[in-house]
Amino acid sequence: MSVGYTAVQWNRQKRIYDLWLGILLAITVGVFAGVSVATHPRITAETLILRSSALAALVLLHVILCIGPLARLDRRFLPLLYNRRHLGVTMFALALIHAALAVFQFHAFGVANPVTSALTAYRRDYSPWADGGFHPAHVPFEVFGFAALVVLFLMAATSHDFWLRNLGASFWKTLHLAVLVAYGALVLHVALGVLQSETSPLYPLVLGLGLALILGLHLAAAWQEKHKDEETASPAAEGYEPACPLAELEEGRGKVVVVGGERRALFLHEGKVFALSNVCRHQGGPLGEGRIVDGVVTCPWHGWQYRPHDGCSPPPFEEVVPTYRVRVADGTVWMHPEPLPLASESCGVDAVAAAETAGASAKGTEDFYIGYLPEGPPALARHTRRAVTVLALALPVLAAAVAWAQGSFDRGVFEFGVERSFEGVLYETPVPMLRVTGPAAAAAPGAARLLLVGSGKHHLPEVARGHHGEKVAFDGSLIYRRGLTMIEMNAPETFRVLGPPEPGEGDGPVEMLGSVQLEGELVDTKCFSGVMRPGAGKVHRGCASLCLRGGIPPGLLVRGDGEGDVVVILAGRDGAPLDFDVEWAARTVRATGELELLDGVPVLRVVDLELVIDG
């Protein structure tokens, strides 16, 4: 209740609530990060933040979605409901961290606007129903996460009481029901995204258990509510409908009855029966499940109060709920379904015989939680402590299991921030490479080919083009994995042409391996070689697609029979650029062509490249 707005109406209970929220989140994120680093030492900081924020947000969303039905099924969970909006805003903040970092990591520094790229990476995509089967690889997962983020944003942005008042409780509640839509979208985001690459059965199991828990609790609560609504009244007399036997009323306590097809609240207070709307003006809480505290009806959700005789909040507060006329006859409470004019003082009626009521002696409020009071009832406090303890025990186990079950992370090194000087012969075809030779003192110095890429998701810088076959020098950073090494030319201003190559520095031996047909995942060689971990798979698909669009040489990740994986550089024939669809990135393709080794680097001069529709 408020006569003016404050940012947060802090009180002791809220501080304790938020403190435990912080502790539980810190435990979840800390355990996930610790176990991830211990069991997967190659995980990058970016991936760690992406995954831990996603895990924390999802866990929090599950908790949020469980609190509502739990409080309906068992009133002892009401203290958890009290400050639920802080959970929601925190959850949105975590989701925003995840989304912002994902867009930055996978879609920034490319040839397209990052947000546009995140949502359009699949625009020329293939039907998920191609060839008579369903192919989730063809369905974008980013859009589901984006949709959920929009819903969560709207909920977080309207979480302040200002919005409750200015949107109206009905619209506000309807808007916040959309959290279920956000949840559904997030389940699909996870199922179509990370679970397409992660093969541990733990993930579908955890996701399924979470889904079953949330939906089961909501259905159980809905079932209970439906039964309450079906308690229809008997025929009316003079407009009055029987509400309930007087004996069912207890002094100081509310009772929810269905009259005129809608729920109302009945209260027995100091021997009088009062009827009010069951809907709290705050968040629509069930007043009939509340109590009389200090002579006023008190909502069980957030403690908003109304005088029983006129429905008005005690001054200086201005909220009013409708009141109704009641009668007591033959041991039955009758109620007129039409509300009295707002704030009219005529709804109370004497109970015929106080002795007929079960609550002749008023019961206390020892089991009634009011969040803004310094202390909650001891019994509820014990129950809340137990619930928090269960979470404090379960969350680290969950976080550890999720961290441990992650698939192994690729090797590969990106010497980010380490600039070295390079000198060699530049080749622009079949893909940009620098041929460097071994130590000059050696009788047979040997040579190696280092792929050349630009910074970010760009290919060879403009300054380096048009110098095919010339000896050049420049600074850059190394990226390497297995037998593949590349240079990120991140300092194009250092590029200089040294002239024609010396004998032995130019074209090296080309080992022709003949015609082959290879099948593997289409990857962008830069990310796969060490810039990203993971640098392959569906979660990386948007990034790979953008890299390929920016001119990063495409590679085919080929799995050998016991020899490990090899990336074969894909190139066009006769120096022509490879004609292919960048949206095949992260999918299985079949390439046919002439295979050759350029100083040990496998290059396939592609004759035919096709997408393999996986059954």
Buried b / exposed e across 378-408, counting CB within 10 Å, b at 16+? Answer: eebeebbeebbeebeeebbebbbbbbebbee
Q: What dihedral angle (degrees, nearest 10) is formed by the CA atoms of 49, 54, 57, 61?
A: -170
Q: Which stretch binds another protein (CB under 8 A): 79-87, 344-352, 507-515, 571-579?
A: 507-515
CB of 325 to another protein, least distance (A): 18
Q: Does 405 bind another protein (CB under 8 A)?
A: no
Q: Which of residues 59-118 bind another protein (CB under 8 A)?
A: 115-116
Select the residue interacting with another protein from 142, 250, 521, 524 (CB under 8 A): 521
503: cis peptide before it, omega within 30°?
no
Two structure tokens written together for 468: 């095919």
430: cis peptide before it, omega within 30°?
yes
Q: Does 513 bind another protein (CB under 8 A)?
A: yes
Q: Which stretch binds another protein (CB under 8 A): 153-161, 359-367, 377-385, 540-548?
A: 153-161
CB neighbour class for 469 (10 Å; exposed up to 12, middle 13-18, buried from 19): middle
Select the residue interacting with another protein from 35, 81, 273, 447 (CB under 8 A): 447
Q: Which stretch binds another protein (CB under 8 A): 103-111, 212-220, 460-468, 543-551?
A: 212-220
CB of 495 to another protein, least distance (A): 17
Applying CB under 8 A, the site for another protein has a residue count of: 116
Select the residue interacting with another protein from 93, 111, 147, 154 (CB under 8 A): 154
Distances (CA, A) of 349 to 266, 268, 326, 333: 11, 10, 6, 10
Distances (CA, A) of 316 to 4, 306, 345: 10, 12, 18
Whether the CB-CB separation of 523 and 586 falls below 8 Å is answered with: yes
Buried b / exposed e across 423-450, counting CB within 10 Å, b at 16+? Answer: ebbbbbebbbbbbbbeeeeeeeeebbbb
Q: Which stretch binds another protein (CB under 8 A): 48-56, 74-82, 461-469, 483-491?
A: 483-491
Type and span of the H or E element at 611: strand 601-611
Q: Which of residues 531-570 bind another protein (CB under 8 A)?
A: 557-561, 563-564, 566, 568
Select the residue interacting with another protein from 19, 26, 38, 177 (CB under 8 A): 177
> Quick one: 304 or 383, whose CB is closer to another protein?
304
CB of 323 to another protein, least distance (A): 14
CB of 185 to another protein, least distance (A): 9
Q: Does 232 bind another protein (CB under 8 A)?
A: no
Q: Which stretch binds another protein (CB under 8 A): 306-314, 345-353, 461-469, 474-482?
A: 474-482
Q: Does 503 bind another protein (CB under 8 A)?
A: no
Q: Which of residues 282-311 bind another protein (CB under 8 A)?
A: 284, 286
- Report d(CA 34, CA 262) in Å as an integer: 53
Q: Does 592 bind another protein (CB under 8 A)?
A: no
Q: Does 511 bind another protein (CB under 8 A)?
A: yes
- Report d(CA 90, CA 96) in Å as an integer: 10
Task: Output Rg (C-alpha) for the chain, integer angstroms.
Answer: 34
